[in-house]
Amino acid sequence: METRRRPTIKLTGGPHGIPRAVVHEVQRGRLLDALAEVIAEEGYLNTTVHKILKRAGISRRTFYEIFTDKEDCFLVAYQEAADHVLVLVQRACRLGGTPEMRIENSLRAMLEFAEREPQVARMCIVEVMASGEKGRVRRAATMEQLTALVAAVLEERCGNQDEALLRARVLVGGVHEMVYDSLARGEVEGISDLAEEVVASHLSPPEAVHGG
């Protein structure tokens, strides 16, 4: 399973000889991770810049050198995670096998991300709804992109673009609701095991999932 990677350089006070661009990237990553952690624990509305700074161990001045405000930090964190998931799904859609198998792999990629990074997933799926209009617009765009990726595979199966898009919307929306509920309850362990069941119940008889 692919995990998002950040620079792990330890920053200390005073001269350290680390290029400014690297320092900036490390600080940015720490702030984004801290944002996700605080939001997962306290919710978007109760998260403040002060709490993010305290968790990240970074100064207020540095925060405002990188981000405009809390919303800007959130939007960057959301887009980073969404882009990562889209890449995972896109790769899964391109793998060999039947359309059902490729859709199953795509759903598993999304669900494994929620298992692997539950705080980030909660931020992107649950708390995004409280983040304001810009956040909800980003969420809608991500859902459309995911739907388009799934629909492209389903079109190979049903041969009809409109039907493929409709089925993709139902499938992606259903998985989203399932993940939302699991994240809201804090119970995401093992959720990726449901990918096969979801495909079997929505697209085909169970044997078709395995190319039978």
Mean pLDDT over each residue of the chain, to the nearest integer: 86
- Residues 129-186 have pLDDT tens digits of 999 999 999 999 999 999 999 999 988 888 788 999 998 999 999 889 989 999 999 8
pLDDT at residue 22, as a whole number: 78
pLDDT higher than 90, residue 60 = yes
The domain spans of the chain are 20-69, 71-209
Nearest to 180 by CA among 95, 100, 105, 111: 111
Instruction: Count Cβ neighbours within 10 Å for each residue of 102-120 and write b for 16 or more, e otherwise.
Output: bbbbbbbbbbbbbbebbbb
Whole-prediction pTM value?
Answer: 0.85
Which superfamily, per CATH, for 20-69?
Homeodomain-like (1.10.10.60)
Domain 71-209, CATH number (from 3.40.50.1980, 3.40.50.1370, 1.10.357.10, 3.50.50.60): 1.10.357.10
pLDDT higher than 70, residue 6 = no
